[in-house]
Amino acid sequence: MNRLKTAFLILLSLLSLSLLFAPASADPAEDLTPGCVFRVADNWASLASLADGRYASRWESTLRENPWVTLASDRPVYGLYLCFHKMPESYVIQEQQGENWVTVIREDCPRYPHVFYKLNGAHTLRILSAAEGKSVLAFNEIFVFGPGEIPGWVQRWSPPAEKADLLLLAAHPDDELLFFGGTVPVYAAEKRKKVQVVYLTCSNGFRRSEALNGLWAMGLRNYPEFGPFSDRYPEGEQLSDAYLMAGGQPKVLEWLADLFRKYRPDVVVTHAESGEYGHPQHKMAADASVLCYDLAADASFSPASAEQYGVWQVRKLYLHLYGPEEEQTVLNWDLPLSAFGGKTGAQLAAEAFSMHVTQKGAGIRRNGGYVEFTVGEFGAKLYPYNRFGLYASTVGVDVEKNDFTEHLPQDPDSCR
């Protein structure tokens, strides 16, 4: 009995010691950016834009050999968050050691314009373009952190989905909020589906940053795809005008069919055939999706991508506002989401839209008045962002009409 008591006391002592010396949860990393001294290769007039907290401003070098930015901090730097305005061909991050610059990170084929790096406590750093010949270096923002846990708003993107459950095709950054409401937070974060967001247009560095900020805030972690087409309103109002501006219908169809094959989505969700308020590029997104539903499964179309990825048959294609109301699938974006502490998909879409600061005040003229783009009025009421029609399906028609993935096999790891 004494031996049992002794063994129990030893075990209790070991447990107490393990708790005593257990590592504490990391403290939040301090934002060192305000105390840093930045220097740039040229264009000093825009230096303040490097770290003003505004993604709608930028510092951009002139076209020159190896443009650079340096930063000096009295406190050791353990994290660097770069938000590029233009993606360089290649770049290096260097630490100053004595009189020398020592490369600690090299990116020869950079993939993400928002990227975070862990560092080793240096005080002076340089970001240097490593492209051959003359190049430009441009940032919307740079953030500098001390040791500790990096804030959740700092983006650390995973690669695009290898196999998507749902592909959301939006014509422009912010359309995924105005016309698709809570699709991203509900399906990507709450239901834990593989959601691949694709933008038809490449827009510009400001709107790209705003899109990334909004998507990250809504729980998306796999990097979106930005298309190669110009983000502007065609001179004409017709679908043909949008195709013409994009370089012709064959170019758009080949691009989208290739993406269907690459991401192999079970479900595709996109714009209304009417273009919502008539935007030709919205019409083009819907029209191209309808055509590529069949083309992506046809090995004779775009044979190079068919050989690279294989052909693919999308199982369900939804168009915004398609068909009679009584037959539409209606999503509830007002349900509280456990993944976001009870916030709703509608709330998250509105919060994400507030990050699109370059679009503040933008809108359309309608019925003799002006309607500003907002998620609540423009999206929820004028062009209901929760109503979609099942245009095509290989798994039958929806019965419950409240879920994009109705009739599809469910991943046991997903949350319903």
The string of DSSP codes covering 306-339 is: HHHH-----SEEEEET-S-GGGSEE--TTSB-GG
257 Cβ contact list (under 8 Å, min separation 6): 292, 295, 296, 301, 302, 305
**C-alpha angle 149/155/159, rounded to 5°?**
125
Whether the predicted model's global pTM rises above the 0.85 cut: yes
Task: Report the relative pairing of strands 64-65 and 195-201 from DSSP bridges.
Answer: unpaired
Res 15 pLDDT > 60: no
Average confidence (pLDDT) over 66-85: 98
Residue 366's pLDDT band, with cuts at 50, 70 and 90, is confident
Find out whether 200 and 74 touch, Cβ atoms under 8 Å.
no
Percentage, residues of the chain above pLDDT 90? 86
- pLDDT score recorded for residue 74: 97
Cα–Cα distance, 291 to 177 (Å, whole number): 24
Please write the tens of the pLDDT for every residue from 308-361.
999 999 999 999 999 999 999 999 999 999 999 999 999 999 999 999 999 988
Per-residue pLDDT tens digits for 217-267: 999 999 999 999 999 889 888 999 999 999 999 999 999 999 999 999 999
pLDDT above 80 for 19: no
Q: What is the CATH number of domain 33-145?
A: 2.60.120.260
With contact defined as beta carbons under 8 Å apart, do 197 and 166 qualify? no
The CATH classification of domain 166-393, taken from the options 3.40.830.10, 3.40.50.10320, 3.30.70.890, 3.40.50.2300: 3.40.50.10320
Q: Could you give the CA distance from residue 30 to residue 27 in angstroms, rounded to a whole number?
A: 9
Residues of the chain with CATH 2.60.120.260: 33-145
pLDDT tens for each residue of 367-395: 888 988 999 988 899 999 999 999 999 99
* CATH 3.40.50.10320 residue ranges for the chain: 166-393
With bands split at pLDDT 50, 70 and 90, how would you rate the model's confidence at 181?
A: very high
- DSSP string of 217-230? HTT--BPPEEEEE-
Question: Does residue 147 or residue 9 have the better pLDDT?
Answer: 147
pLDDT for the residue numbered 21: 38
Percent helix, strand and coil across the chain, each to the nearest 5: 30, 30, 40
Q: How far is CA 34 from the centre of its chain?
A: 27
Specify the pLDDT at position 413: 56
